[in-house]
Structure 1
Amino acid sequence: MRQTVTTVILICISALTGLASEWIGLPLPYLLGPLCVTALIATALPATLPDGYAFPNWLRMIFIAVIGLMIGAQVRPELFADAGRLVASLLALIAFVALALIYNYQVFRLVGGYDRATAFYSSTPGGLYESLAMGEAAGADMPRLILQQFLRVIVVVTVLPIGLSLWLGTPVGSAGGMTLARASVPLNVLPVIVVAGLIGMVAGKGLRLPAGQLTGPMAVAALLSLSGVMPLDIPQWLVNDAQIVIGTALGMRFTGLSRALILRGLGLSLVSVGGMLVLAAAFAILLAPQAGETFDVMLISFAPGGVTEMALVALSLQANPAFVTLHHIVRILITVIALGLTPKRLRRPL
């Protein structure tokens, strides 16, 4: 009973923090706000939690499926309307993912001194939830892995939108009020969302897909959207709730991390993200003429941030969000495939 009450209290605190984060204009407020506040509780106030407390894994899995549905719902036919000019940049993503993995692995393994599994899954330039799920299965040090993966997202979705906002003189991304979800989705759509999520979770587990609780629902939503049979519209409140629950669950994984370790992780993240942004800028310069897009659009297409936030930045720039979204979805798919194809000796603990 005390465990359940603690979970409810944590989610309520996270929800309030998410609202406050949105009010002050933070990127991904309903994910990063709850993550930060619960990580603070786990690291600075562990005595406030019951002995042996663990956030319910089944609850986290349900809302991870919601995120998978939201990402998959963005795979629409218009993404492929002008496939010819996308070939070069989409192929370049393979090289980008490979180079980023190699560079980041050296940073976390040699500079950071992480074990092989933790270094490997911390190195991925995308697929946050997939990397966490697969890293956990591989025996990675989860507090460190969560720290590095979320620092990657935090640094990218903070630095890039802020930098572009200063350059353009107007807020971009979620700070500018952009959203990919729909606020006015009728409640009678919820049963369809539930069924799609359940089918996706079962399929992901049955087919043994990497991070099946995420990629299964993502595949189901993408198939429904591309076929035109029943495209899914995910309401904004449900996406916000999913991010609150996931952020709370992940924040609780920070138990035992010291301030020194967090600062060290931040230093490693700045080196990692800095190198990836330089790499993304180089690809953007080379590919902008062939793709017929500007440098800033190509930069956000290759930036190793979240699908949602980068697409929102594209909307703010009055660019083609479908172009940006497709690149980020392909980057995630390439990353997940790369995780499965990499020799096991590089992704196992010593």
Structure 2
Amino acid sequence: MPHILTTLALLALSGLAGFGAQAIGTPLPFMLGPLAASALIATALPGHLPQGYRFPTWLRLGFIAIIGLMIGSQVTTALFTEAHHYALTLGAVTLFVGLAHGLGYAVFRALGGYDSTTAFYASTPGGLYESIEMGEAAGADMTRLMMQQFLRIIVVVTLLPLGLSLWLGEPVGSAAGQSLARGDVPWSDLPLVAVAGLAGLALGHALRLPAGQMTGPMAVAALLSLTGWLSFDIPQWLVNLAQMVLGTALGMRFTGLSRGLLLRGAGLALVSVGGMLAIGVGLAALLHGMTDEPVDVLVISLAPGGVTEMALVALSLQANPAFVTLHHIYRILLTVVALGVITRLRQRIG
């Protein structure tokens, strides 16, 4: 019972933090607001949490599926009108993954002083859960590994929308009120959303898809959208709730971390992610000349994290969010596959 009450109290606080972040125009307010609030509790007030408390995994997985459905429902035939550019753009993502991983590894080894195993798994530009799982099996320092992987995502979804807002001279993404959801979805559609989400989770588990809790529901929604068998929209309040739950869960990952360690990790994340974004900007500039795709759309397609917010930013730039999401899915899949191959090679050599 204490754990249930703690979860409810955290979610109530996160809701207030989300509305507060929305009021001041923060990108992705219903994720970043709750993340900041729960991270503050986890790092500054861990003694006020029940002993052994963990944010419920089943709750987090359920709402990750909602985000997957929302993105998958944006996959339409319009996505394939730009297919002739995919060889170049996906090729750039392939190059980006290798360069970004190498840069992150160098930062964590040279500046952070991390051992080679921890630096390797902490520096992957995607595959959050797979990196943590494989890193744990390989004997990485799990505190630093999880901290850096979560900070990577936090830095990207915070800095990139802010940077684009400054560059364009106006808010972008969720800070501009953009959304992939609708506010007028009838309650009668919710059972269909629930069934599609459960089917997607089952598909992701059965096929062992990378980030299956998101990619499984995304695949189901995309199939329904492309075939026209069924049509449904995700209500805005449900998307806000999903982001609130995910932000709270993410913030609670920092339970027990000292402020000194967290500040050092944040500094390393800023350096590594800043370098990754610089690589992405350079590749985007080269691609622009070959594909005529806008530089800003290509930059968000190459960013190392934040699938949902990057799709929202794409919407505010009048770009196809499914185009951006496709490249992020490819980045995650490529990172996970490469990670698996290199992990097996490291095991054989070791």
Look up the match of 1:15: 15
**Do the aligned partners of 2:71 and 2:322 also contact (CA within 8 Å) in 1?**
no
Is residue 107 of structure 2 the alignment partner of residue 107 of structure 1? yes
Look up the match of 2:279: 279
Amino acid at match of 1:226: L
Deviation, 1:190, is 1.3
Look up the match of 1:245: 245
Deviation, 1:8, is 0.7
Deviation, 1:88, is 0.9
Distance in 2 (CA, whole Å) between partners of 1:137 and 1:208 is: 18
**Do the aligned partners of 2:21 and 2:30 also contact (CA within 8 Å) in 1?**
yes
Distance in 1 (CA, whole Å) between partners of 2:94 and 2:84 is: 17
Deviation, 1:35, is 1.5
**Do the aligned partners of 1:39 and 1:255 also contact (CA within 8 Å) in 2?**
yes
Please say which of residues 121-130 and 132-141 is displaced more in the overlay. Answer: 132-141
Look up the match of 1:304: 304
Is residue 333 of structure 2 the alignment partner of residue 329 of structure 1? no
**1:119-158 aligned within 5 A:** 119-128=119-128, 131=131, 141-158=141-158
Look up the match of 1:295: 295
Amino acid at match of 1:279: I
Look up the match of 2:203: 203
Deviation, 1:330, is 2.6
Distance in 2 (CA, whole Å) between partners of 1:38 and 1:87 is: 42
**Do the aligned partners of 2:15 and 2:244 also contact (CA within 8 Å) in 1?**
yes
Distance in 2 (CA, whole Å) between partners of 1:198 and 1:137 is: 29
Identity of aligned residues (%): 64
Distance in 2 (CA, whole Å) between partners of 1:59 and 1:251 is: 15
Please say which of residues 127-136 and 274-283 is displaced more in the overlay. Answer: 127-136
**1:78-93 aligned within 5 A:** 78-93=78-93
CA deviation string 1:277-324 (max 9, x = no partner) = 111111112110221123223222222241222232233333444433
Structure 2 unaligned runs (5+)? none
**1:169-188 aligned within 5 A:** 169-188=169-188
Please say which of residues 302-311 and 8-17 is displaced more in the overlay. Answer: 302-311
Q: Secondary structure at the match of 2:253?
A: helix
**Do the aligned partners of 1:146 and 1:250 also contact (CA within 8 Å) in 2?**
no
Deviation, 1:67, is 2.3
Structure 1 unaligned runs (5+)? none
Residues 324 and 61 of structure 1: CA distance in aligned 2, closer, same or farther (over 3 Å): closer
Distance in 2 (CA, whole Å) between partners of 1:204 and 1:116 is: 31
Deviation, 1:11, is 0.9
Look up the match of 1:255: 255
Deviation, 1:37, is 1.0
Please say which of residues 246-255 and 130-139 is displaced more in the overlay. Answer: 130-139
**Do the aligned partners of 1:116 and 1:347 also contact (CA within 8 Å) in 2?**
no
Deviation, 1:25, is 1.0
Amino acid at match of 1:57: T
Deviation, 1:272, is 0.7
Residues 148 and 336 of structure 1: CA distance in aligned 2, closer, same or farther (over 3 Å): same
Amino acid at match of 1:17: A
**Do the aligned partners of 1:73 and 1:221 also contact (CA within 8 Å) in 2?**
yes
Residues 140 and 19 of structure 1: CA distance in aligned 2, closer, same or farther (over 3 Å): farther
Amino acid at match of 2:67: I
What TM-score do you get using the length of structure 1 for normalisation? 0.89
Residues 161 and 257 of structure 1: CA distance in aligned 2, closer, same or farther (over 3 Å): same
CA deviation string 1:19-78 (max 9, x = no partner) = 111111111111121121111111111121112222222222222222222232233221
Distance in 1 (CA, whole Å) between partners of 2:229 and 2:115 is: 46
